[in-house]
Amino acid sequence: MVDEAAQARAEALKGEANEAFKGNKYAKAIILYGQAIDEDPTNAVYYSNRSFAHLRLENFVPAVEDASKAIEVDPQYVKAYYRRGSALLAQNKFAEGLKDFKKVAKLKPRDPDAQKKLKACEAEVKRQRFEAAIASGEGGSGPVSSSLDIASIVVEDGYVGPRLGGESGTDVTLEFVKAMIETFKNQKSIHKRYAFDILLQVKEVFKVLPTLMDIEIPQGTHFTVCGDVHGQYYDLLNIFEMNGFPSEDNPYLFNGDFVDRGSFSVEVIFTLFAIKVWCPKAIYLHRGNHESRNMNKIYGFEGEVKAKFNETMAELFSEIFCLLPLCSVLNEKVFVVHGGLFSQDGVTLDDLRKLDRVREPPDDGLMCELLWSDPQPQNGRSPSKRGVGVAFGPDVSDRFLKANGLQLVVRSHEVKDEGYEIDHKDKLVTVFSAPNYCDQMGNKGAYIRFESDMVPHFHKFTAVPHPPVRPMAFANGFMSMMM
């Protein structure tokens, strides 16, 4: 039994935690809900609320654990099933998540929202099973790029947007790129013929790049590294406004997660890809964990491409994402990767150069860890809170850097209040370039500017206004509960 004084303290702590949650201070809310649980471990609400806070931070494993504990305490607590089901869906565990939504629908048979989400989840499970059955069959039509005939796509006389010029009709010029950016800024689109043309051209650019790029920053020049953008197009344009448009004299590296969540992902990716085609040394692009088929199905990019163009283009994006490089070394000193380091010591840069990257990301191994891992403050390694990748400590970073003659790891993959964070005794930096992430986190964005001495200079910025389209507007219907 929990005495009345402990219950009162727990309720007070829950009130503080709820206020922190409302203020988007999810990490603080998690601590406060934990303190409430310490006072009264018999209240399912505290576990369920902490699960929700973990969901907002994309800590899916503890989100499932807390929701499960809430269900153990109160098997009739509907919100706990919602939250556990959401965390399972976020990990692509649709069949397991479906069980929770069935339970919600059973507990609330007259709730139209519960019934709607159950039907959406059932449809997604059927679709995945169908796709798995097709993939397991023999044969196949091959890559979509090999069957595309863009010459047969007619540009109607009434089209008034930017056109690709040059003798071949396909040259991507700076003039075209800037006209395209203005078109997107005004919430209009380019013709699908030119969109397909850009994708086919950028595919050829990526195809010949190595998995690990060695990038030189000559004396007297500079180089900018940006983190996740996540479809926040108007914030991307703000970066270019603050730091200058990409060029050979003002090069950028975007460190993965260009798409998903934000509902202007199409505009982001075509801008980055068109710049890459126009001037390959103006911009470098890494693959993030969201440049993958499964994530794009869940978090909005696939739906956005289908809504703004068509299904064929969505397939072509999946093909191109498999060609993106995974990491870079700047001036033989700074290692840049989207996620982080590895579940084992002894990994060398040559090991990374030899990786077969032209595939969908696997669930384990070096490629998975490059895309999914996160740092932790304590030494050693721990299971990832995301359910994939690994959490690695300062000693792991130190050993990797020393073994490969490097001085700093730069990674992204995690939202930070100030847009960046320095960890692991100044040997690891996280940079995140999507301010006010998903229109709710209140965080700043940041980018890093390096000169040839490789000392990082951090620049913070706040979000700018965007048209009234909510994040994940194109995502699967049942995922809206996570926003």
290 catalytic? Reply is: yes
Domain end residue (candidates: 136, 164, 189): 136
Per the prediction, the chain carries an average pLDDT of: 92
* Residue partners of 1: CB distance under 8 A and separation at least 6: none
* Residue partners of 79: CB distance under 8 A and separation at least 6: 48, 52, 70
From CA 449, how far away is CA 456, in angstroms rounded?
6
Residue 167 located in a structural domain: no
Residue 152 located in a structural domain: no
pLDDT digits (tens, 9 = 90+) for 88-144: 888 878 888 889 989 988 998 888 877 877 887 787 777 767 766 665 554 456 889
Of the candidates 191, 286, 290, 466, the residue annotated as catalytic is 290
How many other CB atoms sit within 10 Å of the CB of residue 151? 9
pLDDT over 50 (residue 481): no
State mean pLDDT over 166-194: 88
**Strand order of the sheet with strand 428-431?**
212-215, 327-330, 334-337, 408-411, 428-431, 420-423
Q: Residue 164's closest CA among 141, 207, 194, 126? A: 194
Specify whether 335 is located in the same domain as 431.
yes
pLDDT digits (tens, 9 = 90+) for 332-345: 999 999 999 999 99
From CA 97, how far away is CA 213, in angstroms rounded?
39
Specify whether 222 is located in the same domain as 113.
no
Residue 344 located in a structural domain: yes
Angle of the 44-56 helix axis to the 4-22 helix axis, nearest 10: 20
Answer whether 96's CB lies under 8 Å from 88's CB.
Answer: yes
**Identity of the amino acid at 220:** G
State mean pLDDT over 215-223: 96
Predicted pLDDT of residue 167: 46
Specify whether 204 is located in the same domain as 295.
yes
Phi then psi for residue 106, to 5 deg, are -70, -40
Specify whether 111 is located in the same domain as 194.
no
pLDDT digits (tens, 9 = 90+) for 22-36: 988 899 999 999 999
State mean pLDDT over 446-459: 96
pLDDT digits (tens, 9 = 90+) for 348-385: 999 999 999 999 999 999 999 999 999 999 999 999 99
Give the domain range for residue 261. 174-482
